[in-house]
Structure 1
């Protein structure tokens, strides 16, 4: 066997049985090895941004890493934007990045680059296989780091390490470090803060927003009067029967005003919330300056166990009641008339099926969905996490592969959708059960809003050329057809409802181009 065979075997014995790939010449031995392993599902993406975005969506739904296969430094560089989102989501991914044979690097061939330096900003762990005999160690370290650090690992695979011979050996799963123990002093400080009766906010993120820890947080809030807020995270459990957690607003002024009353903040998962951007004369953090910030647990901790420890410290029983969201989907009126963002959000919410996965890259077109989601059937919400646009279409594909028995509804802004539109081709090839709703407003509307945020009240031809997507307008139905996905275009709400309900009733990918006004 060769090093590439060893790599496949180590991945499989550790439960990594999906590889999202866009390979090149230096990875052909790995491709051949994958071909000898029918247990491994290989999924092709037509750009590396699609590959890394799919790996993110898959891991968010399965809580285990997929492998990616990327071609040298330029291939990794093409995938970095969505690896940035994955890093911010604390998603476990194991990138395999091919490189030239080790003896060839000295000649500085055209595709030679500093892969380590490219990988490091978006990775929690970076390693290079020194040769075929080093592949097992390197792969196991990368896998263990992805799980224990809750993040992206990047393993560099030189071509001669892949083709070099290696002795077969018995393999067993890698040893993964246990989550760090909760700091007793931090736990006591959080318990004391909640018992003092000060106005307290508990800020949740990451795996603290899953169903079980969310219920524990709800019980703590009900017992202490604390408020629950969340930051953008990998995956959040939403819907009726679950505890209500308010997202911290994106808009800086709203965020500052919303958090203004609190004297104490307990952070579980994320650190203190910060603004996406700096603005003249405005703060970089959204909590009040005199608010006491207590970091109870970070992403590497077992966040469910951390919340349970906090509940135990407060004497809150595991079966204590909490105020759960009330089912209100039936109260949502069937919208009609002009096709606005609000009308689309009403339609999405009115017909959202139970256990759906909602992908959120609608950005400024989100409408009333955040306010409606607590009253909908239980579902999972997967948003853009790092602010690097172009995640929605591949994220939906990866989520559908990770949870094939669940309907995926992707709310997708048109400008950001064009970054990784190739992901629709993968949805067609893999016959993934995804309904993609394109908010076709023919503009980078979020950037128009940011111009206002920095004080620009009006702008001229040059700015419009950089912020508008017309002349020519994008034709999403033609794009979808060319990539193998059925589609339909809605110009009013009645047409949208008809297309949306039909897409929900069938299996496979479908694109709705919503000509939103």
Structure 2
């Protein structure tokens, strides 16, 4: 066996059996080893940002580490933006980055780069394999690092470590420690603060605390003691829909966020960091809670968040039979008709969302109403761009579809952001993934027009307009999708869009709708 064989076997022994890849010369021995192990599914992305974003989507839906295969420093660099998003989503991921043979590095060949420095800002853990005999130990350490707590582990594989003769480990399987329990002191402190707040307390949930079972417990606390329930602006993964407890998402616009949190005197964090403004604005605060608000951590990322909520509920004297808050009344929007608008798209998708679907939202400004509208949609999973680096929507949907092949995936996709990783449509076609991509074709970076106004610029001139608008020439999403192997069509009216969505929902496989708004 060589080092690449050992690497594959250790990964497979620990249930890491999906490899999102864009390999190069330095990784050919690893590619050959993967070829000898059909139980490892290999998915090619035509750009490394597709690879890392797809691994993120897979990990969010499975809570298992996805594997990426990247080619030296430049390949890793191409994938860093979506690794940033994955790090912010706090998902388990293992990056295998191939490098020159160790003895070749001093020659400073063209692809030589400082991979450790490139990886460090977007990784929780980085290690270079020292040689063939280190492959097993390093791989086991990478798997452990990706899980305890969940995060990004980057493993650098020199070519000579891959091709060199190596021995398999005596035991390839690592021990996976259970998530640690929250300390009793944190439970008691949170309970005491909630009681004293007298209706001016809130829970902020993320991670596994935003899944249906945990949300039910948080909802019981909310109903019993008038505790507000919030989620972050950028939702990593939440289970939503009719019959499920629905937290209020903290708004993106800073003034709206400050208003929503203005009367909160105690904020209890459940797997979440303290909320802050996405950007700094002249004369406005960065923290979103008021200066006198007490911010407490009930349970941190990596801890058993559901158990922490259960213990908090018990400490507060709330019974397990406590009812949850009644669902908000969602106004009947009727059936939109006429010229297609961004709101009409959100309404129609929310009304027609199939049971157990997965929604990947990178609609940016255009899809802003979908979250509230979908509170009474069929039960579904919802994911967003967590780190603000655009170009996650198409890859995220790939990973979700591979993780859950029996479920329909809908990608709400802004057109400007979609162009960053449009190559992912080819992967959707090649893998025959059941994904509907809905492109909001407003032909502009609408969010940046808004940000210009937020910093006080009311009149946009020609230079600024040319940096913010996607015209001259217009993007032709139907042609691009078809060129990459995905069936596609364009809608200008609500009636056309509804017909296309019905068609896409009735079939299996990738389909793109360009919604001209």
When normalised by structure 2's length, the TM-score is 0.98
1:71-470 paired onto structure 2 within 5 Å: 71-196=71-196, 197-231=198-232, 232-325=234-327, 331-470=332-471
1:113-166 residue CA offsets vs partner (Å, 9 max, x unmatched): 110110010011111111111111111111111111211110000000000001
Unaligned runs of 5+ in 2: none
In the TM superposition, residue 326 of structure 1 has moved relative to its aligned partner by 7.0
In structure 2, what is the Cα distance between the partners aligned to 1:136 and 1:422?
34
Q: State yes or no: 1:66 paired with 2:57.
A: no
Paired residues of 2:199 and 2:225 also in contact (CA < 8 A): no
Paired residues of 2:360 and 2:382 also in contact (CA < 8 A): yes
In structure 2, what is the Cα distance between the partners aligned to 1:16 and 1:264?
41
1:353-411 residue CA offsets vs partner (Å, 9 max, x unmatched): 01000110000001421221111111010111000000000000110000011000110
Paired residues of 1:89 and 1:385 also in contact (CA < 8 A): yes
In the TM superposition, residue 315 of structure 1 has moved relative to its aligned partner by 1.9
1:177-226 residue CA offsets vs partner (Å, 9 max, x unmatched): 33233122221110101222251011111221011111110011111110
Paired residues of 2:181 and 2:307 also in contact (CA < 8 A): no
In the TM superposition, residue 175 of structure 1 has moved relative to its aligned partner by 2.0
1:27-51 residue CA offsets vs partner (Å, 9 max, x unmatched): 0000000000010000000000000
1:71-124 residue CA offsets vs partner (Å, 9 max, x unmatched): 000000000000000000001110000011111111111111110110010011
Residues 1:280 and 1:328: Cα distance change in structure 2 (over 3 Å): closer
In structure 2, what is the Cα distance between the partners aligned to 1:124 and 1:45?
24
In structure 2, what is the Cα distance between the partners aligned to 1:170 and 1:414?
51
Q: Which residue of 2 aligns with 1:5?
A: 5
In structure 2, what is the Cα distance between the partners aligned to 1:115 and 1:177?
30
Paired residues of 1:332 and 1:350 also in contact (CA < 8 A): no
Q: Which range moves more in the overlay, 18-27 or 296-305?
A: 296-305
In structure 1, what is the Cα distance between the partners aligned to 2:260 and 2:397?
31
Q: Which range moves more in the overlay, 489-498 or 177-186?
A: 177-186
In structure 1, what is the Cα distance between the partners aligned to 2:380 and 2:391?
23
In the TM superposition, residue 234 of structure 1 has moved relative to its aligned partner by 1.8
1:293-342 residue CA offsets vs partner (Å, 9 max, x unmatched): 1111111111111111111211222332112537979x552211111111
Q: Which range moves more in the overlay, 421-430 or 290-299?
A: 290-299
Q: Which range moves more in the overlay, 195-204 or 460-469?
A: 195-204
Paired residues of 2:49 and 2:421 also in contact (CA < 8 A): yes
In the TM superposition, residue 510 of structure 1 has moved relative to its aligned partner by 0.2
In structure 2, what is the Cα distance between the partners aligned to 1:314 and 1:144?
35
In structure 1, what is the Cα distance between the partners aligned to 2:502 and 2:214?
33
Aligned residues: 515
1:406-452 residue CA offsets vs partner (Å, 9 max, x unmatched): 00011000000000000000000000000000000110111111101
Q: Which range moves more in the overlay, 130-139 or 320-329?
A: 320-329
Paired residues of 1:97 and 1:156 also in contact (CA < 8 A): yes
1:261-320 residue CA offsets vs partner (Å, 9 max, x unmatched): 111110111121001100000000111111011111111111111111111211222332
1:450-495 residue CA offsets vs partner (Å, 9 max, x unmatched): 1011110011111011001000000000000110000000011110
In structure 1, what is the Cα distance between the partners aligned to 2:320 and 2:142?
36
Residues 1:328 and 1:456: Cα distance change in structure 2 (over 3 Å): closer
In structure 1, what is the Cα distance between the partners aligned to 2:192 and 2:368?
39
In structure 2, what is the Cα distance between the partners aligned to 1:357 and 1:413?
17
When normalised by structure 1's length, the TM-score is 0.98
In structure 2, what is the Cα distance between the partners aligned to 1:280 and 1:117?
33
Paired residues of 2:20 and 2:69 also in contact (CA < 8 A): yes
Q: What SS does the aligned partner of 1:43 have?
A: strand
Unaligned runs of 5+ in 1: none
